[in-house]
Amino acid sequence: MRKTIYLPDDLAARVEEYLSTHATETFSSLVQDALKQKVGPKDQSSILDLIGFVSVEPSEEGTVFEDRPEDSTVDWYDGPPR
């Protein structure tokens, strides 16, 4: 998306100074980073709920998932077919 924005002279000067000392950044990357911080990431909590991810608070001893079959591994591969 292309947008035209107005920057006051003092802000434009600060942006130019910043970019002159951060050679790996461009004006576009700077604006994108600033907008990501201001707008925030897309809320993905509903999709995480849908697929079963939940936040788990660690216990005093740490989080243990031994009783959850979806978190256990099974070693069933015994090599290529004979």
- Position 55 scores a pLDDT of 58
What torsion, rounded to 10 degrees, do the Cα atoms 24, 25, 26, 32 define?
Answer: 150
CB 72 within 8 A of CB 66: yes
28 lies in a domain? yes
* Residue 15: Cβ-neighbour burial (10 angstroms; 0-12, 13-18, 19+): middle
Mean pLDDT by 10 residues, the chain (82 residues): 92 96 94 88 69 60 56 59 65
pLDDT reported for residue 15: 95
With respect to residue 14, please indicate whether it lies within any of the assigned structural domains: yes
Domain of residue 59, residue span: 9-69
Is there a domain that residue 2 lies in?
no
Q: What is the pTM of this model?
A: 0.48
DSSP assignment, residue 80? S
